[in-house]
Amino acid sequence: MRLEIPTNAERFGANLFYQVQKIYELDGGYGVDSEFDNPFHVIQQISYERLHEIEKDMAIVIPVKDERLRLLEGVLCGIPHACLPIVLSNSKSEPIDRFRMEQNMVDTFCRHAKKKYLIAHQRSPELARIFKDGGYLHLLDDDGLVRHGKAEGMLAGIVLAKLAGKKYVGFIDSDNYFPGAVFEYVRIFSAGLSQGKSPYSMVRIQWHSKPKIVDAELFFTKWGRVSRITNQYLNQFLSHFTGYETELLRTGNAGEHALSMPLALALDYSTGFSVETYQFVSLMEKFGGVLPSPFPEIMKRGVEVFQIESRNPHLHEVAKGDEHIKEMVEYSLSVLWHSGICPATLKKDISSELRRLKIVRKNGEPIKLRQYPVLSTLHFDAAVRKIDWAQYGNYKPV
Ligand code: GDD
């Protein structure tokens, strides 16, 4: 891949948030191009070997809930062979057992492709057992099963990736129409993570565009309704502490993102669709230097967040209507509002935005969402001892 070198960044304590990077070539060519020997280059080449090194250590978690099997199959097809796909499903098992259908399809696909994979149902007792054995009960509900929700599926995916011995974990939604876009996202993950100088790094994808039909014509929108709002307030949050107005953060709702495992285990998480925005909140709270950090090692080594713009348009399952959009705005803004370091002026602005959108009433407060503490408190050794890997697919860590 040939990719812009990020020259601008906002620093917030130990966090380094890089500007959005532009991709010049998805395939950067074989070997190392000596043209890049000059230290004043603004573009970098990331070799096949380097991308492969990351990908063989990376799991891609695919959260799925009642999506079309063909879409899920397309997503599998786009994932580079060296990566381990982990399908984390919360699909119905009644009246039709959709999960069984997913299992069959994934198994057949991977048999043909000779590909390793893991698949789990979010509500299965076996999955819940990992959290019980590991002493991390926060994710379990009154029935003793992993709670519903996309974030909850992602957390379970991170834990499976760690138990599978992976060093990186990425997330790709299962309702993507273009396998080529999925392939690009994973390549962006590996290119982004390969730039990290610290062991604590993250890559977030800014979509190039989202095609829509407007007046019978194709129109390529740049910003989704939710991200436009989330990014505005996220930047205000950051600006308050740096003292400089900024528009640098563009990926507040990036469903497609990847983390190094040490960082994935050191963040707090928030439920459902607030998960992506809350990752920024957690970074700012934990490593921003405003509150004492529970991880002095990370404060010393620093955290790097890369934002990279994809080239493929993003086409996913048809939008789920205004209520879904409103919920996503509410969730994203509420995690900013409830942060212990959210400045009073920003709280006021967020409250008026939520009132304007008729999400909260006058004098009402944004919803307080469930949060999950760092996954590093899970006892992985205890959890791994009783795992029967055969239940999860054809992968067994060595
Ligand atoms: N395991 C699991 N459990 N998966 C779920 C659940 C769940 O409870 N709910 C949804 N999913 C899966 C869906 O099947 C899909 O693959 C993915 O999670 C995203 O869910 P959607 O309902 O399609 O979300 P969206 O398209 O509105 O929003 C996506 O993009 C946003 C950025 O615009 C999500 O990725 C958001 O998190 C993201 O902020």
CA distance 151 to 157: 10
**pLDDT tens digits, residue range 286-334?**
999 999 999 999 999 999 999 999 999 888 876 677 888 899 999 999 9
Task: Write out residues in the chain with pLDDT < 70, as ranges.
Answer: 318-319
Residue 218 pLDDT:
85
Residue with the two structure tokens 């919803």: 367
Atom of ligand 1 nearest to the CA of 89: 1
Task: Give me the CATH topology for the region 2-209+250-313+370-387.
Answer: Spore Coat Polysaccharide Biosynthesis Protein SpsA; Chain A (3.90.550)
β-sheet bridge partners, residue 214: 217
pLDDT at res. 26: 96
State pTM to two decimals: 0.96
Any alpha helices (H) in 134-172, and if so which ranges? 150-163
Domain ranges (residues) in the chain: 2-209+250-313+370-387
Q: Is the CB of 255 under 6 A from ligand 1?
A: yes
User: What pLDDT does 319 receive?
Assistant: 61
Cβ proximity of 231 and 353 under 8 Å: no
pLDDT at residue 321, as a whole number: 78
State the pLDDT at residue 349. Answer: 96
Tell which atom from ligand 1 comes closest to the C-alpha of 122: 1
User: pLDDT, tens digit, for every residue of 106-148?
Assistant: 999 999 999 999 999 999 999 999 999 999 999 999 999 999 9
CA distance 367 to 177: 33
204 alpha carbon – ligand 1 mean position (Å): 16
Cβ–Cβ under 8 Å, residues 205 and 218:
no
Q: Can you tell me which atom of ligand 1 is nearest the CA of 256? A: 35
Q: Which of 60, 65, 206, 227 to mutate to test the pocket of ligand 1 (most atoms within 8 A of CB)?
A: 65
63 Cβ inside 6 Å of ligand 1:
yes
Is residue 259 within 6 Å of ligand 1 at its C-beta? no
Q: Is 253 touching ligand 1 by the criterion CB < 6 Å?
A: yes
Token pair, residue 382, equals 């205890």
How far is 351 from 326, CA to CA, in rounded Å? 14
Q: How far is the CA of 125 from the centre of ligand 1 (A)?
A: 23
* Contact predicate 247/10, CB 8 Å: no
Q: 186-195: b or e for each residue (b if 16 or more CB lie within 10 Å)? A: bbbbbbbbbb
pLDDT of residue 280: 98
